[in-house]
Structure 1
């Protein structure tokens, strides 16, 4: 009964992160793609993703663990197949939507690329391509 009353009188709050669920998912997809860019996975890179998601108002109807498994699979496929990569990145671009969110996503990619202490040539090339795609 108290939960019914709570539902009746609970104000629907706008997400505190200012993002839609598709934008959150696109950011995670992009960060996973960046993590696999140089074929070297570091815990520090994974930590950037974990910390980012912790700040999101992730929709509880979309279990993050299940989404992340699919996202990683898509990111790995994108690093191995040019046609898939083009479609995957175009989907990310479209879901990010606004210039502000695209800028936020690029900043997070940059943070991920330097999380392991150095930015590789592969990561630099990926970042330059992402900048062209998203700006």
Structure 2
């Protein structure tokens, strides 16, 4: 299964389809996944095309086109590349928009799944550890403290 099949599966899983996720939470969740995809610096034009085709259902209530939203999200992500302070601030913003611990936990678990698709690199593991710490997520079953 390739990265975008995994992303599509994540975004259409039962927890994300429930009405108790607000549009703001869905967007924060997507921003987190997109930021995770950029950690290793390997996002291609083909990946973006697949992303565009596979996750439009996530943005059902934005009032803006998917293309406008993805452009805005990519701009945010690119602005924090190489700047740890700005990346931390964006992650804090995402944490706040996700809201409660349950949704933060789901988001982090799905981020972990997404990052594992191509084999976790050191950068990706470090990013995941940073997110878990910021989001106050305990280690997942089978993980060490």
TM over 0.5: yes
Cα RMSD after superposing both structures: 2.6
Q: Is the 8 A contact 1:48 1:111 kept in 2?
A: no
Q: Hey, what does 1:100 align to over in structure 2?
A: 102
Q: Structure 2, unaligned stretches of length 5 or more?
A: 1-16, 137-145
- Residue 115 and residue 85 in structure 1: after superposition, are their counterparts in 2 closer, same or farther (change >3 A)? same
- Residue 68 and residue 48 in structure 1: after superposition, are their counterparts in 2 closer, same or farther (change >3 A)? closer
Distance, in Å, in 1 between the alignment partners of 2:129 and 2:48 is: 19
State the TM-score, normalizing by the size of structure 1.
Answer: 0.74
In the alignment of these two chains, the number of paired residues is: 119
* 1:64 and 2:66 matched: yes
Report which of the two structures shows the higher radius of gyration computed on alpha carbons: 1
State the TM-score, normalizing by the size of structure 2.
Answer: 0.69
Distance, in Å, in 2 between the alignment partners of 1:120 and 1:38 is: 8
Q: Structure 1, unaligned stretches of length 5 or more?
A: 1-14
- 1:128 deviates by 0.3
